Structure 1
Amino acid sequence: MTGTLFLIGTGPGNPEQMTPEAAHAVEKAEEFFGYFPYLDRLLLRGDQRKIASDNREELDRASAALTRAATGINVAVVSGGDPGVFAMAAAVCEAIEKGPAAWRDIEIVVTPGVTAMLAVAARAGAPLGHDFCAISLSDNLKPWEVITRRLKLVAEAGLVIALYNPISKARPWQLGKAFEILREVLPGTVPVIFGRAAGRPDERITVMPLAEADPGVADMATCVMIGSPETRIIARPNLPDLVYTPRFYAGDSH
């Protein structure tokens, strides 16, 4: 008899932003596989065990968890945000596809979570009120040329863009290059939201026009959101501005 493999998203990091479904899955699991900081967000019982690994070891982590589940252990694979958005659900599916036939008999339970772009959007107002997309700027798993082509095309299509993995020590230049590409297509007045650690004590939400967008504001804990030509800012003298994208498409009429 096999165990169950739960795919859990902790949300952006605020315990209140973890869903009840994910919390119930935590109660059922015996062993937890994940990146160190994500596992540290969980309050586990004494009989529950953490198996931490580096964030670049997704397939090895997935295989290790599946191996344990195949022996009858209930395991959880933990991601930040939502496990299905640039996270471990895809890695587990990939491992199952390539792995032993027995892994296909393991019950897989994916619990939806609050991903970074939703937390940032909630803090800013409603920038995702109309059509939008999410793109990872990391070129570890896809060529940079693919990323730049997609950026140009979605900007031309008028989509709000949420950028995950915008910058790192190994990739300090890519966000600046992305802004250059977007400036060739979008008005310089389009708002750019830098949402760092949304919902956590060290949260920082910064909004600036694309023409002045500074990649130095971002780090790997930041989700960067670029508005469309439709996105607007409502100034409020005594409160933070509201950034929103209208539900209707006005085109060139406004």
Structure 2
Amino acid sequence: MTGKLVIIGTGPGNPDQMTPQALAAIGAGEQFFGYGPYLDRLELRPNQTRVASDNRQEIDRARAALDAASKGASVCVVSGGDPGVFAMAAAICEAVETGPETWRRLDIMVLPGVTAMLAVAARAGAPLGHDFCAISLSDNLKPWELIERRLRAVAQAGLVIALYNPISRARPWQLATAFKILREVLPVSTPVIFGRAVGRPDERFAVVPLGEADGQPADMATCVIIGSAETRIIARPGLDPLVYSPRGVEI
């Protein structure tokens, strides 16, 4: 007997930004696996079980969830944002690829969610209005040298860049280094957007030029969006500026 495994995202933290599809999956789930603070966002019934683990234990969490589903449970694996963007959907796939054959026969469903860069972009205006990319600055699963090469390549290609996992206690220097690399390619006037907990009561939001970006506070809950050379700022008296990337680019 096998159960079902659904991978959901809770969105950026505002309950209104969780999709109805994810809410329905939560209502139908029996066992919930995830990082503790993400599970805390759910309103579970007494007969629903939560299995919390540290945010750095993704593969162990994925294996435990797959094992529970293979024994017949209806399992919900919970991520913040969108589960397919630097989150648990990839960890589940990795575990299935290297795990027992029974896991490949499971009914596995990934439900999309609102990821951080979309919430931050919406708060700013439309900085992702043209071509863009997302890069994690964490070097836990890839070498820093590769991150540097990718930053230079996408800046030279003219892409707007969304940075995930920009800074942590273990690597407080990487965001400043990323800005230094980007200033080698981009004008110092390029807009940089800092968005933390967007849509929540503790939201922190700022738009600064690339030349001044080092002075802005950031942590692992912050998503940073760096514009391209074409990204523009529309000043509005008494209101936050609108930041957008035009839909067309002239060469």
Q: TM-score scaled by structure 2?
A: 0.99
Q: Match for residue 160 of structure 1?
A: 160
> How far did residue 215 of structure 1 move?
5.4
The match for 1:26 is: 26
Provide the residue aligned with 1:35 in structure 2: 35
**Secondary structure, in 3 states, of the residue corresponding to 2:236?**
coil
Mark the runs of 5 or more structure 2 residues left unpaired by the alignment.
none
Q: Which amino acid aligns with 1:72?
A: G
How do 1:34-73 residues align onto structure 2 when only pairs under 5 Å count? Answer: 34-73=34-73
Partners of 2:166 and 2:216 lie apart in 1 by 11
Corresponding residue of 1:126: 126
1:11 partner SS: coil
Structure 1 range deviating more: 205-214 or 136-145: 205-214
Q: CA deviation at 1:250?
A: 2.9
Asked if the contact 1:176/1:215 (under 8 Å) is kept, the reply is no
Amino acid corresponding to residue 123 of structure 2 in structure 1: R
For the residues of structure 2 that align with 1:95 and 1:19, how far apart are their CA atoms? 26
Residue 188 (structure 1) aligned with residue 193 (structure 2): no
Q: Match for residue 230 of structure 1?
A: 230
Q: CA deviation at 1:59?
A: 0.4
Aligned partner of 2:111 in structure 1 is 111
Equivalents in 2 of 1:176, 1:125: separation in Å?
25
Cα contact 1:33–1:78 (8 A) shared by 2 = yes
Match of 1:80 in 2: 80
- Identity, % of aligned positions: 73
SS at match of 1:243: strand
Gaps of 5+ in 1: none
| CA deviation profile, 1:104-139 (whole Å, cap 9, x unmatched) | 011001000000000000000000000000000000
Counterpart CA distance in 1 for 2:171 and 2:5 is 33
For the pair 1:141 / 2:141, whether they are aligned, the reply is yes
Secondary structure in 2 matching 1:97? helix
Deviations along 1:35-80, one digit per CA (max 9) or x if unpaired, are 0100000001111010000000000000000000001100011000
**Structure 1 stretches of 4+ moved >4 Å:** none
How far apart in 1 are the matches of 2:248 and 2:215?
30
TM-score (norm 1): 0.98
Name the residue aligned to 1:245. Answer: 245
Once the two structures are superposed, what CA deviation does each residue of 1:189-243 show, in whole Å capped at 9, x if it has no partner?
1000000111111111101000111255111110000000000000000221100
Q: Over aligned residues, Cα RMSD in angstroms?
A: 0.7
Amino acid corresponding to residue 222 of structure 1 in structure 2 = T
